[in-house]
Amino acid sequence: MKALTIRQHWTAAIAHGAKRTENRSWPVPAKHIGTRILIHAAADIDRTRQPSFDVPQELTDGIGIWPDHRSAIVAITTLGGCHFDEGGCCAPWGMSGYFHWALADVIALPTPVPAKGALGFWTPPVDVLTAVLAQQTEAAR
């Protein structure tokens, strides 16, 4: 299973079900469409594009991801597809001039799993995958 590193606060918005579009300058490789991937919160936050939304307290209770977890796997998702921005599609999350990656069936992990991220798709170490997959069944309930 591959992982994708994304900066906070976007990672929390994905894990909590608000953000279902990831913006990238490159398209999803065809071999990854339809596969499950891990969402990894980067060590740093995105200081250039702060989210302009308020997250209701009930979304954050019991999950513990908003917004401080960094350098950790926080969710599992399916890459549902990819398209280039078509003039305002995928609002409010889709950015003009980027590829929009569709995220589906997101499962937030009950406990984020510490891990060092990387650029692009990367393969987490076995101990990280084991810890994530142990929570996947519990989180899906």
For residue range 101-126, list pLDDT tens digits in order: 999 999 999 899 999 999 999 999 99
Name the burial class of residue 86, with classes exposed (0-12), middle (13-18) and buried (19+) by CB atoms within 10 angstroms of its CB: exposed
CA distances from 76 to 33, 47, 50 (A): 14, 24, 23
Say what the pTM is.
Answer: 0.84
The domain that holds 37 is classified in CATH as 2.30.130.30
8 Å CB contact between 42 and 9: no
- The CA distance from 122 to 141, in Å, is 27
Q: Which one-letter DSSP state was computed for residue 122?
A: E
β strands within 9-141, DSSP E: 21-24, 36-45, 72-84, 99-114, 121-122
Residue 139 is predicted with a pLDDT of 58
Number of domain units in the chain: 1
Partners of residue 77 on adjacent β-strands: 37
Domain that holds residue 98: 2-139
- The CA distance from 48 to 28, in Å, is 23
The chain-wide mean pLDDT, for the chain, equals 85
pLDDT tens string, the chain, 141 residues long: the values are 999 999 888 888 898 888 899 999 999 999 999 999 999 999 887 766 554 444 445 544 555 555 668 899 999 999 999 999 987 788 888 888 999 999 999 999 989 999 999 999 999 999 999 999 998 776 556
